[in-house]
Structure 1
């Protein structure tokens, strides 16, 4: 190899390494933004008209409406806010044409299907779980990579190696440890059911991850995120909220939607929607730079960042009680991250030193 060729090869290797490290940083940041999205959405649903709905409940809402209709509405308002951010940023960059062209293609339609599972199903279950059990359901929802690996085995015939099975076992062990905090007389009322909704969210996001993995391999991440957020926001608002409204029988759905979107709490929903947009945007971008497996494990760290952000922002900054977590829950959150990393990659690779490349002058 000539000296110039060796230098070029070394420069490219250094550039690739730097590019991958930037991808890891971006994917890790996506986990933090997920925690911020969770905290600000939860805070928004305690402010303004929401405090009346969840408080003394002088509005005459049924118990079903308080739990399920308001949960779906909170998810709809957050996802719609996120969709507005995504659509506005895409428009500002002159890519609206790409959005409408892509959504008509097969990969675009696949993104829509994935968003339907991640929006009306997973997002709403996540919000309901948060309202019932608090931030402890965040690590439960982080089971989505483990569930996604299982779903991929059946949908795409992807093999489940011993390493992946070990990672899945670690994740489910962590979830069982977290679920153990819902047992006993000192557990808050509704915690067990809240954990069930967290698990439903994990299933929805696990399926979305499998399906959207196909779509995002052929669609620009910015356009893909816009399709995902717009689909999620609209489907929550025009499908799930009316369905729960009819099931509640209160006849107040339209009034609730109007009040929610005109209330002062919309400021905090806009903040939550922005962090939701950032989370998915950074996750997809990080995946493209460091690989989907490593990007998934970095983003999965939200099982730790979610409870931490809720504790700091809601518990410490805003002074709201009830956001502390038991030591076993913190341990389980970290254990969940370890399981996700094991699914995505061989953990021993993190400790291997890269071999120095020797070049011979021609």
Structure 2
């Protein structure tokens, strides 16, 4: 009887290890997919901002728009449309999952208000800065914006007294080195002022997302991640469309300027399908990232999501450069190397890379 019990116990332990291993691997797969989806989102959004009325706005300036409108207001509108579409996808998803009432109920709770703060930081601030940077400097800014995990680690130490050990400091150093390596390629052969400004604005996006990561990490620990993401996307869409865009409009000379441009953008039939797609991909990115974090750990999940530093330029090259036949989306080899170094730095911040080898060895045994 004891022998039978012992065998049953060993079988149960083996089954538990296998289940845990499969759960972990699925989490890694979801987190990696979130990085891929973010790369696709970047390419789709940028493609949308080359179609229809956007082609006129960014073309020979036949619309007679001011430099401020072209550089900043149009990017804010593009981000606002994307986040609005993403919010609609999020609401549809919450309805299908039967969680819409929970979404409404959670908005005015403490974790809900924390997610609102995260949305305001990550959407109007970081999201718009990201789009502006891409329009100014191209896909070279994507890996630079991926500095956000390094920034989140530093802010976590400052704001929440979280651990920042030597390994994490090394990872931050690797990320900073990679960003300088990538940024230097933008100045080869003489760089335009727009490229330099775009890189600086990409750093602002990284700061915003790093801060959002700290805030959202705290809020999502107290709320259903699917509800938290819905709050994040809806608030971001509203804030972009009804707060940030009108402010930029007033800065450009009058709120009617932004209103007219928004109407034209939403009625541009050749551009909107790309925004609907980018909104869906944006929503999928957050969904799979949060799900992956819950299954393989926030550290490794963040590292896997950070692979968008490679996938972003790759899909911009394939969609805009190869498929769209547009110039300026190819990156020099040094930039690709820098993107890979950035991914390693992000992984080092999030966890000890040797732990992956140890885990694999344990599973084999």
- Residue 288 of structure 1: aligned partner: 294
- Residue 354 of structure 1: aligned partner: 361
Q: 2:18 aligns with which of 1, 14, 19?
A: 14
Distance 1:281 1:232 in 2: 15
Distance 2:66 2:298 in 1: 44
Q: TM-score, length-normalised on structure 1? A: 0.96
- Residue 266 of structure 2: aligned partner: 261
The alignment yields a C-alpha RMSD, in angstroms, of: 1.4
- Residue 136 of structure 2: aligned partner: 132
Q: TM-score, length-normalised on structure 2? A: 0.95
- Any gaps of 5 or more consecutive residues in structure 2? none
Comparing 282-291 with 173-182, which one deviates more in the overlay?
173-182
Q: 1:97 to 1:356 in 2, by over 3 A?
A: closer
Where do residues 1-362 of structure 1 align in structure 2 (5 Å cutoff)? Answer: 2-249=6-253, 251-264=256-269, 265-352=271-358, 353-355=360-362
2:31, 2:292 within 8 Å by CA — same for their partners in 1?
yes
Pairwise CA distance, 1:288: 0.6
* CA deviation profile, 1:86-107 (whole Å, cap 9, x unmatched): 1111112221101011111111
Distance 1:66 1:317 in 2: 25
Distance 1:355 1:80 in 2: 46
2:118, 2:216 within 8 Å by CA — same for their partners in 1?
yes
- Any gaps of 5 or more consecutive residues in structure 1? none
Distance 1:179 1:191 in 2: 9
Q: 1:60 to 1:355 in 2, by over 3 A?
A: closer
